[in-house]
């Protein structure tokens, strides 16, 4: 099956597709740092690092192979944590029309449209209804589900919406969740090196401890890995960290240390959240701004730790400065979740 990845980001969805058996020929991503990460890790795929609106034709011969277009248009406007832009007046909320235009241009056998759960209820479900009707008009039979990545082997509680469209009348069954116990934060990251606030050494060896089965798989036989970068927080932020237990957040911080907030009582529950080691992580979104905290160390998560919680293998390297790397990891579709979706589609032949 030949594939095209639209709004490809750093390539998490493509990685899952490739692992399932898709030959991804083209990726479209306008952010130059995310595109650089994609190109580095997917050398077999042509990367169009431009605005999707500049894509006017698709020249990929199929030789009778089935074809699939997949991707997740920008989702910040649909996020439940972004109430100010969850409406039809946000221009970024309409970029999915470009996705539909490319589908019409190439007319693949399959489409996979991924987004945050919030698209299902933004403006009373108007956007979801628009997408479903657009696919139906183009001849696609659709199925859609909301999947929690922790049900599919990812150490993170992250709900994502997937719309699957078939040009051949197939209604795809929802992937079966894994029956094994959830993968915890401890399983995911405790073999990675101890780090300090502001850590900046890129490549480091693993701890000399036995990794969990999950960590061992993601290590891929490596002796060291990259992206061990941590945001450098100021002394006030570090003082706040010390008051927060596992599972706690900004509410555990003394009010005298929160005076620079105009109204800290309105902080999101993910702000200053210290992860519980024996549970899957909360959502790895913009984890730098949320200040997700390591279970034991008084610092934010490293890029590699966040990548582990997203199910990226350790050979996968992120490019750009630390801020761009953090954004790429937070925006990504977990590759393991993506793989489950594509495996389900490929089972139909």
Q: How far is it, in rounded angstroms, from Cα 3 to Cα 26?
A: 7
Are the CB atoms for 148 and 173 separated by under 8 Å?
A: no
Task: Provide the sign of the torsion angle of the four alpha carbons 217, 38, 173, 310, taken in this order.
Answer: positive
Residue bearing tokens 């894994």: 178
Q: How far is it, in rounded angstroms, from Cα 195 to Cα 168?
A: 52
Are the CB atoms for 78 and 127 separated by under 8 Å?
A: yes
Neighbouring-strand partners of residue 204: 225
Residue bearing tokens 């997700």: 292
Q: What are the structure tokens assigned to 201, written together?
A: 């050494």
Q: What are the structure tokens assigned to 270, written together?
A: 């993910």
Are the CB atoms for 281 and 156 separated by under 8 Å?
A: yes
Q: What are the structure tokens assigned to 144, written together?
A: 């859609």
Return all residues near 30 (Cβ < 8 A) that are at least 6 apart.
Answer: 49, 50, 51, 52
Integer CA distances (angstroms), 157 to 82, 131, 229, 268, 337, in order: 18, 26, 23, 17, 12
Return all residues near 59 (Cβ < 8 A) that are at least 6 apart.
Answer: none
List residues with catalytic annotation.
75
């Amino acid at each position: 099956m030949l594939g095209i990845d639209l709004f490809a980001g750093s390539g998490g969805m493509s990685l899952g597709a490739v692992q399932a058996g898709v030959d991804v020929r083209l990726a479209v991503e306008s952010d130059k740092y995310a595109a650089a990460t994609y190109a580095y890790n997917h050398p077999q795929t042509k990367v169009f690092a431009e605005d999707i609106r500049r894509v006017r034709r698709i020249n990929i011969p199929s030789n009778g192979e089935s074809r699939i277009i997949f991707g997740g248009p920008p989702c910040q406007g649909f996020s439940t944590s972004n109430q100010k832009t969850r409406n039809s007046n946000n221009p970024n909320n309409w970029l999915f029309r470009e996705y539909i235009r490319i589908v019409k241009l190439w007319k693949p056998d399959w489409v996979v449209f991924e987004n945050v759960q919030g698209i299902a209820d933004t403006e009373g479900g108007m956007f979801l209804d628009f997408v479903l009707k657009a696919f139906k008009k183009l001849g696609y039979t659709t199925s859609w589900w909301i999947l929690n990545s922790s049900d599919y082997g990812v150490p993170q509680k992250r709900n994502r919406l997937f719309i699957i469209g078939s040009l051949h009348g197939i209604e795809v069954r929802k992937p079966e969740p894994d029956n094994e116990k959830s993968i915890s934060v401890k399983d995911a990251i405790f073999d990675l090196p101890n780090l300090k606030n502001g850590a900046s050494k890129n490549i480091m060896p693993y701890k000399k401890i036995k990794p969990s089965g999950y960590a061992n798989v993601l290590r891929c036989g490596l002796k060291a890995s990259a992206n061990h970068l941590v945001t450098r927080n100021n002394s006030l932020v570090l003082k706040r960290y010390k008051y927060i237990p596992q599972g706690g957040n900004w509410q555990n911080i003394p009010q005298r240390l929160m005076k620079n907030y105009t109204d800290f009582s309105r902080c999101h529950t993910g702000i200053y959240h210290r992860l519980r080691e024996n549970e899957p992580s909360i959502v790895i979104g913009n984890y730098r701004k949320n200040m997700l905290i390591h279970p034991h160390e008084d610092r934010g998560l490293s890029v590699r730790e966040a990548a582990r919680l997203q199910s990226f293998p350790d050979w996968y390297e992120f490019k750009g400065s630390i801020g761009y790397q953090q954004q790429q990891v937070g925006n990504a579709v977990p590759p393991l979740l993506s793989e489950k979706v594509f495996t389900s589609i490929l089972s139909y032949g």
